[in-house]
Amino acid sequence: MRELIAVLAAFLIGSIPSAYLWVKIKTGKDIRTMGSGNVGATNVFRSVGRLDGIGVLVLDALKGILGVVLGGLIWEPVLTTPTVDPQLIGFGLGITAILGHVFTPWLKFKGGKGVATGAGVALAVYPTPFFLAFVVWSVLLKTTRYMSVASIAAAYAFAAATAWIVPNKTHAAIALAAAVFITWTHRANIDRLRKGSETKLFHK
């Protein structure tokens, strides 16, 4: 029962629609009717303001961290079993938080793309791979100015760094699956990149 409650808690934390609530409270508008229509930090950044986008990004990342931490605290009595890998459980709960963000039940199961929440999960569970992926994200965002390109590349960089650093390859397999999922959530961006119509995050 504790395991089920932990998973549900992580999902519900991830499902909080930070972008929608932020924009609704500040402007009275629905972020789904603005810009790309996506319920995420990048759309807020473009459609409302840079500081607003950064604020939503931080909140979305915190959802990932809280999903791991709170879910782990609920699950904790089970973690005394020697055969249970606490880090793997934390990663699994983090993935659940990402799914909550992408498929939020509060907005008819149409949420964001999972990048910021995924970053929070990565930071909470695997700090070193996270920072290596963050470097990749920062460099590509600065050079290409495409958030989609930077985010997808960072997801695969995180998977590669996890495979390199974490001895248990199950962790790397989950990280790779998460990267594939992030690629899927960006399928519309990939299509626009192919057509040359993808919007850059900022101008030089």
Structure tokens that stand for 5 in this block: 């409650």
Given this model, what pLDDT does residue 82 score?
A: 58
pLDDT bracket for residue 2 (50, 70, 90) = confident
Q: Report the chain's mean pLDDT, rounded to a whole number.
A: 93
Mean pLDDT of 90-119: 96
Given a cut of 60, is residue 79 above it in pLDDT? no
CB atoms closer than 10 angstroms to residue 153: 19
Given a cut of 70, is residue 83 above it in pLDDT? no
Given a cut of 70, is residue 172 above it in pLDDT? yes
Mean pLDDT of 168-179: 94
Return the DSSP state at 199: P
pLDDT in tens, 107-144: 999 999 999 999 999 999 999 999 999 999 999 999 99
C-alpha to C-alpha distance for 117 and 3, rounded to whole angstroms: 21
pLDDT in tens, 65-76: 999 998 878 877
CB atoms closer than 10 angstroms to residue 52: 19
Given a cut of 80, is residue 80 above it in pLDDT? no
